[in-house]
């Protein structure tokens, strides 16, 4: 058996499923599963860089630079059809899924680096959710995405902050430094049960409350320095 030195493995994703606990690195996929009083470790290797790991409708999927694959026992089976001739030239890596959700009609909604895609399942193509959503990702990709509790989609863009889309793919909101956001680059994001979103930034961790009536006015809104007085005259508010 191969000796695994985890201090030499850079784990990029983890996933808990009924099959066991998965750990993903660039070159390997590990699955830890119970066997009696001990654990068994399954290991899959790739030379094509693993980039995504998701679980939908009872199956685990992993992607490398060559294919989207489903874990079947101890094998990885390619499941996504290649793009049709003349389709928009998304590369497989650009379509890597961050998370997925099963829909009532039996299809899947995948949030990828190139936006939201509909997928009918193994053997079928990934299709952009809408023309509007596809256009948002032509010149810039996402590096993280998550579903919000109300069904909306949140994407962390590589250069322009956070992007929020409605269930049908329409843009609802964008947050960046121009809106008082602390930084345009968010590494990862995760919603919580209290209506907030946790963000990992290059300098630390932050939490944003999406449904909060509180709004911070700072330098991005023309308010600089310390504020000492605030007053209201008719429908205007003045700050000194």
pLDDT of residue 231: 63
Query: What CA–CA distances, in Å, run from 140 to 62, 88, 112, 135?
Result: 23, 15, 12, 10
pLDDT of residue 167: 92
Using an 8 Å Cβ cutoff, are 222 and 214 in contact?
no
CA distance 116 to 165: 9
The answer for 151, left when phi > 0, alpha when psi is -120 to 50, beta otherwise, is left
At 155-200, the pLDDT tens digits run: 999 888 899 999 999 999 888 877 766 677 888 888 888 888 888 8
At 96-125, the pLDDT tens digits run: 788 889 899 989 999 998 999 998 887 778
Average pLDDT over residues 27-54: 88
pTM exceeds 0.85, yes or no: no
CA distance 214 to 78: 48
């Amino acid at each position: 058996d191969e000796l695994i030195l985890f201090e030499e493995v850079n784990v990029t994703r983890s996933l808990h499923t009924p099959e066991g606990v998965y750990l993903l690195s660039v070159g390997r996929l590990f699955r830890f599963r119970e066997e009696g009083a001990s654990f068994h470790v399954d290991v899959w290797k790739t030379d094509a860089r693993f980039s995504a790991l998701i679980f939908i409708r009872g199956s685990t999927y992993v992607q490398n630079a060559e294919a989207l694959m489903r874990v079947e026992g101890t094998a990885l089976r390619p499941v996504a059809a290649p793009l049709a001739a003349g389709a928009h030239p998304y590369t497989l890596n650009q379509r890597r899924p961050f998370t997925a959700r099963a829909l009532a009609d039996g299809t899947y909604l995948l949030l990828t680096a190139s936006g939201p895609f509909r997928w009918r399942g193994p053997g079928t193509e990934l299709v952009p959710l809408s023309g509007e959503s596809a256009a948002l990702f032509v010149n810039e990709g996402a590096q993280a995405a998550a579903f919000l509790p109300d069904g909306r989609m949140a994407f962390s863009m590589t250069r322009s902050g956070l992007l929020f889309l409605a269930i049908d793919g329409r843009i609802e909101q964008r947050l960046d430094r121009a809106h008082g956001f602390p930084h345009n680059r968010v590494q990862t994001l995760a919603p919580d049960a209290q209506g907030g979103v946790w963000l990992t930034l290059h300098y630390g961790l932050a939490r944003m409350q999406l449904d909060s009536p509180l709004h911070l006015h700072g330098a991005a809104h023309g308010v600089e320095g310390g504020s000492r007085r605030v007053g209201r005259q008719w429908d205007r508010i003045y700050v000194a």
